[in-house]
Amino acid sequence: MPVIQQVTSELSNNPLLLLAVLPAAFILVRVITYFKDASGLRSYPGPFLAKFTDAWMFWVVSHNRWSSAVDEMHRKHGPFVRLAPNYVSISDPKALDAIYGHSAGLMKASFYDIFANFSVRNIFNTRSRTEHARKRRAEAHMFAPQSIRAVEPLSHVHVAEFLRQWDHLASRVQESQHGGGPLKGQLGSGAWSVENGCVWFDCMPWINFWAFDTIGDLAFGLPFGMLKSGRDTARVAKNPEEGFRAIEKITEGSGKLDIEEEDIPYVENLSTRAEINACLGWLPRAWQVILPRIPGSGFNSYSDASKKLASLSIMAVARRLANPSGRPDMLQKLLEARDDEGKPLSPVELSAEAFVLIVAGSDTIANTTCATTYYLARDQRVQAKLQAELDAALASVDSEVAPYDVVKDLPYLDAVIHEGQRLHATIGAGLPREVPAGGATILGHHLKEGTWVSVPIYHLHRAESIWGPDASEFRPERWIEASPGRKKQMMEAFVPFSIGPRACIGRSLAIMQLHIIVATLFRRYEFALKSDAPLQIRDVLARRPLECLVGMKRRKI
């Protein structure tokens, strides 16, 4: 019997032998691939495991060390680091344009496939240049300066609701000072306690409630009501398929909205999905399908969370179609959008686009606001300086919510927001892009077709070579003191919204929201921390604060 036949028959008769041989064969294939070096990356330094397998990326992401591990690798090995057999991270700001710029020609890598939870792609997860350009054209006017300014009054409503709840919390301080008031309690789902003249509570859930209510309203005319209830809860279609059927019937003019709904903890589902996506994105497609199906793998909640999140946008689209309003929100603009043949978006595409607006436009703003609040609460000097600027600028303004026109050009507020975005880096990861046919030359290095490349934002925002020896300090003054030449250098390395054709489309809205919320909160309240302990983060593409316990009281203004 020939040797190969003998070996296969031996293996099929002996499953234990097969179990032992499979890992050995796997490792052998990886070692041979490494030495064959088809990717041409063998000479690049990096973690040992990453030379052979994507498992290094999977491991660091699943251990909550995405941005920090990549940062460490660059500090150890320099600007070019191999993070996976086919993936190089480049930490030089000069690489940004070559990778993400308009004429770069690199598209999103297949890492983004894991984010597709509808049968069609959305503006964020499509990897097709043509499809992306079509979507971006259709959605650009939603984010034009006049469209953003038109929604400012809507956004004020939610900031005012936010103040009602925090005023209520702050009033606990006076109540306890005047005797009789309780020293601890619960508002919505959050606990609070009074100590040292402040009310202490975790501000992260409240900031989430505000951000989600606001984007729910701006996107769909459908605030979730999280601020009012103080709870993470949203009404969604119980069955997404039923939602699509209802949309189709309504579009054909032959149906009423009659969908079974349920309440879900939306933010919690979003966190679950984000955490799992960030890990699964580094695995081969087969593993992405298998792992969520294995009981006890830690990935089981994935499909359920994805479906529930999708149901929210399906429900919102169905509601709007059933009750057309003409309201100037994003959903209305999506309904008016036409493709290149003049056709409206299909129900599933509408829902997919609405979904990404909610996800991209809430979490990111909430994380940035929470981290900025943390840094300001930790540094009383910076907080007082900001408050002095806000007091002067808003002295004659008769509104508890800071109008954008009044606060948009305040130098210290601007510097605080920049510094919060720099140091926290809400999107801290390198955003992976794939080298197209013909290869690409980046900073003199020729990389072959199919190689993944990225620039690590967290590392760039903290590199001493760019920001100086105090790079890891929260010091807004750096933005004001810098000479024009230095400021240019800083801005070239400051990329919280990324750059190029796939840069954040919601940037102007985010900047407006951040100015309004930081100015309003810090004019009205004082914040403190109990210790200088670092902010605990879950790093899953977006870097989300897990908890931020602050002491807060009303200011005398």
| 510 sits near ligand HEM (criterion: CB under 6 A) | yes
User: Of 352 and 357, which has the nearer Cβ to ligand HEM?
Assistant: 357
Q: Within positions 418 to 437, which residues make up the interface with ligand HEM, using CB under 6 A?
A: 426-427, 431
One-letter identity of residue 458: Y
Contact between 136 and ligand HEM by CB under 6 A: the answer reads: yes
Stretch that binds ligand HEM, among 56-64, 175-183, 301-309, 497-505 (CB under 6 A): 497-505
* Total site size for ligand HEM, rule CB under 6 A: 22
| Binding test (CB under 6 A) with ligand HEM, winner from 497, 522, 525, 527 | 497
Asked if 516 and 401 touch (Cβ cutoff 8 Å), the reply is yes
299-358 positions binding ligand HEM, by CB under 6 A = 356-357
**Per CB under 6 A, which region of 53-61, 148-156, 395-403, 505-513 contacts ligand HEM?**
505-513
DSSP-derived secondary structure letter, 430 = B
Residues 6+ apart with CB under 8 A from 44: 80, 81, 82, 88
Distance, in Å, from the CA atom of 198 to the CA atom of 408, rounded to the nearest integer, reads 30
CB of 357 to ligand HEM, least distance (A): 5
Spatial separation of the C-alpha atoms in residues 320 and 236, rounded to whole Å: 14
Q: How many CB atoms lie within 10 A of CB 285?
A: 11
Nearer to ligand HEM, 69 or 211 (CB): 211
In whole angstroms, give the CA distance from residue 444 to residue 506: 33
When the beta carbons of 176 and 421 are compared against ligand HEM, the nearer one is 421
Query: Which one among 502, 523, 544, 553 touches ligand HEM, defined by CB under 6 A?
Result: 502
Q: Give the per-residue contact string, 80-119, with ligand HEM (x = CB under 6 A; - = no).
A: ----------------------------------------
Binding range to ligand HEM, per CB under 6 A, among 1-9, 264-272, 461-469, 498-506: 498-506
Sort 545 into a burial class: Cβ within 10 Å, 0-12 / 13-18 / 19+: buried
With respect to ligand HEM, which residue has the nearer C-beta, 278 or 360?
360
Residue with tokens 């390395």: 493
Distance CA 386, CA 390 (A): 6
Beta bridge pairs of residue 527: 552
Does residue 504 belong to the site contacting ligand HEM (CB under 6 A)?
yes
Question: What phi, psi does 119 have (nearest 5°)?
Answer: -75, -10
Q: Which is closer to ligand HEM, CB of 271 or CB of 426?
A: 426
505 touching ligand HEM, by CB under 6 A:
yes
Do residues 82 and 51 lie in contact, with contact meaning Cβ atoms separated by under 8 Å?
Answer: yes
3-class DSSP state of 338: strand
Residues 159-188, interacting with ligand HEM (CB under 6 A)? none
Nearer to ligand HEM, 169 or 510 (CB): 510
Q: Residue 371 corresponds to which tokens in the numbers above?
A: 């981290």
Figure out which of the listed residues 346, 498, 538, 549 binds ligand HEM, where binding follows CB under 6 A.
498
Stretch that binds ligand HEM, among 51-59, 375-383, 469-477, 494-502 (CB under 6 A): 494-502
Helix 152-177 and helix 507-524, axial crossing angle in degrees, nearest 10: 20
Nearest residue (CB) to ligand HEM, 352 versus 431:
431
Q: Let me know: does 542 contact 364? Beta carbons within 8 Å.
A: yes
Residues 352-391 vs ligand HEM: string with x where CB under 6 A? ----xx--xx--xx--x-----------------------
CA 200 to chain centre: 27
Q: Which two tokens stand for residue 535?
A: 């902010």
Asked if 328 and 141 touch (Cβ cutoff 8 Å), the reply is: no
Within 10 angstroms of residue 155's Cβ, the number of other Cβ atoms is: 22
Choose which of 309, 509, 516, 537 interacts with ligand HEM (CB under 6 A). Answer: 509
Among 190, 456, 506, 551, binds ligand HEM (CB under 6 A): 506
* Nearer to ligand HEM among residue 330 and residue 552 (C-beta): 330
**Beta carbon nearer to ligand HEM, 68 or 189:** 68
On whether the CB atoms of residues 45 and 88 are closer than 8 A, the answer is: no
From candidates 496, 512, 537, 544, binder to ligand HEM by CB under 6 A: 496
The rounded distance, in Å, linking the Cα atoms of 112 and 254 is 37
By beta-carbon proximity to ligand HEM, the closer residue of 329 and 526 is 329
Q: What are phi and psi of 497, to 5 degrees?
A: -105, 10
How would you class 446 by CB atoms within 10 Å of its CB: exposed for 0-12, middle for 13-18, buried for 19 or more? exposed
Mind spelling out the 3-state secondary structure of 273-289? HHHHHHHHCCCCHHHHH
Among residues 70, 99, 123, 270, which is the contact residue for ligand HEM, using CB under 6 A? Answer: 123
* Residues near ligand HEM (CB under 6 A): 123-124, 136, 356-357, 360-361, 364-365, 368, 426-427, 431, 496-498, 502, 504-506, 509-510
